[in-house]
Structures are given as structure tokens and as C-alpha cells.
Amino acid sequence: MRTLIVLGVICLGAELLLAVGGTYQPLNVKTGLWETTWTSSLSGRPPIPANMVESLTPEQRERFEAAMNKMVSQAPKTRTAKSCLTEEKLKKDPFNEENKSCTETILASSGSRMDIREVCSGGAVKNDVTVHIEAIDSEHVSAKVVSNMSGGGNTMNMNGTFTSKWLGAACGDTK
């Protein structure tokens, strides 16, 4: 779930920070209204614990398998959303949550780039996420996200990219 939250932050705007030795530096981007286009694709099998699948009736298992096959066979999905980047959001590190099952590593950082890896291994599912973010200029951000989830003898991979562009200083009703 944490990965979905982090990806949601990435999808909804350029409100990402850079970290060097515990010191956070905001990306060199403008605050205001941003539009983000996110494209993602899935492959593999969802990391569902074997005991969960075994507890299904034959009919439930058939429906479940059909849904899983449909999910991973779909073409990449593209979504676009607007978000408001405030000074407060820009200063807050969305990756720095107190989750004892996750380890965050800043691989590289500068005023225009960040590479981060987060590995979560609590419970039956392990998730390994790598994010590369680049502030092309103060009005354009792009990123690549790779997530590998494994558990229950299955591995599912998610690859995504996003581009964000600044639309203006006023956000209107957009949060």
C-alpha cells in the first residue's frame, strides 16, 4: 500500500524532494498548478499468498485467475491529473515515512535529479521500487518508476513513466 501512496504522490505532481545526507532540498520547480501524465504497464503474476488462493472455491479461483490474466495482458494505461504544488508540499519529503519494513536509499541527488530506491519486505510480499526523477527545467519534470513485487511464488512488475508540466501560479479549486 505504501508503494501506491508514493506512486500517487509521483503521479499527482512534481512535489518531490532531494535528499543528501539527511538534508532535503526541493526540486528547482515552480509552485502552482501542475498537470501530470502517467503511463504504466504490468507484467507477471500478482504476489498473492498461496494460502489465500487455496482458500477460494473452484469458481472463485476461476474468476480470480481470469481477472489477473486480464489485468496483466492489458496495454499500458495512461492517466492525466492536475495537482497544486504549494511551498509546504515542496518542502515535505513524501518518501520519508516511518515504516519499519521499508528501507529508503538515496542513490543520487542534485537540484535537478533524484534517484531513490525503496525496499519493503514486511509480511508475505516484498516490494522493490526504483524511481528516477528529473527536473528538466522549472516548469517540466519527468520520471521513470520500476516496481517489482514478489510473494507467494509470484512476481509482478510495474513500469511507469510520467511527465509533469507547470500550468500556472494559480491553482483555483485544484488541491
Give the pLDDT of residue 6.
39
Give the pLDDT of residue 147.
95
3-class state of residue 138 by DSSP: coil
How many of the other CB atoms lie within 10 Å of CB of 53? 17
Give the pLDDT of residue 97.
61
Average pLDDT, the chain: 80
Give the pLDDT of residue 13.
38
Please determine, for residue 89, whether its predicted confidence score (pLDDT) is greater than 60.
yes
Taking the C-alpha atoms of residue 128 and residue 106, their distance in angstroms, rounded to an integer, is 14
Taking the C-alpha atoms of residue 109 and residue 105, their distance in angstroms, rounded to an integer, is 11
Q: Which helix (H) or strand (E) holds 11?
A: helix 2-11
Reported as a pLDDT band with limits 50, 70 and 90, residue 94 is low
Please determine, for residue 10, whether its predicted confidence score (pLDDT) is greater than 60.
no
Phi, psi of 4 (to 5 degrees): -65, -40
Give the pLDDT of residue 21.
41
What's the whole-number mean pLDDT along residues 36-62? 86
Give the pLDDT of residue 62.
87
Radius of gyration of the chain (CA): 18
What's the whole-number mean pLDDT along residues 116-139? 90
Closest residue by Cα to residue 138 from 169, 107, 115: 169
Taking the C-alpha atoms of residue 91 and residue 19, their distance in angstroms, rounded to an integer, is 11
Taking the C-alpha atoms of residue 78 and residue 89, their distance in angstroms, rounded to an integer, is 25
